[in-house]
């Protein structure tokens, strides 16, 4: 899907969310991230683990790749496309 089509889809999902009260990520199949300081990132929508080391973790999130960098990184709680990354997180990047 092109970047323009993805933006239109996200805008439509936001509009529908306003009208219905449902979260937009459920309507547009968007990945969800919750960052708790620099020690934890919780993800929803993970399809595959592409790279895993103590300093870098890359996840297939559907249309994008999520890259988390830091020190002492570990993964846990992998359940139904949800995954938690813990450690000393220095950077969270989207690779498009």
Residue 2 domain boundaries: 1-30
Same domain, 1 and 44: no
Same domain, 36 and 54: yes
Same domain, 56 and 42: yes
Same domain, 51 and 5: no
For the domain that residue 38 is a member of, what is the CATH number?
2.60.40.2000
More reliable by pLDDT, 46 or 19: 46
Q: What is the pTM of this model?
A: 0.73
More reliable by pLDDT, 96 or 33: 33
Dist CA 20 CA 94 (whole Å): 29
**CB proximity list for 5: less than 8 A, separation 6 or greater:** none
Question: Domain total for the chain?
Answer: 2
Same domain, 19 and 57: no
Q: Is the pLDDT of residue 54 over 90?
A: yes
More reliable by pLDDT, 37 or 20: 37
Same domain, 37 and 23: no
């Amino acid at each position: 899907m092109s970047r323009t089509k993805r933006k239109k889809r996200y805008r439509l999902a936001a509009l529908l969310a306003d009208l219905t009260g449902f979260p937009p990520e459920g309507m547009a199949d968007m990945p969800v991230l919750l960052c708790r300081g620099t020690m934890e990132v919780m993800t929803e929508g993970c399809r595959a683990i592409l790279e895993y080391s103590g300093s870098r973790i890359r996840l297939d999130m559907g249309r994008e790749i999520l890259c988390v960098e830091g020190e002492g990184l570990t993964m846990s709680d992998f359940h139904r496309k949800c995954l938690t990354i813990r450690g000393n997180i220095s950077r969270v990047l989207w690779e498009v």
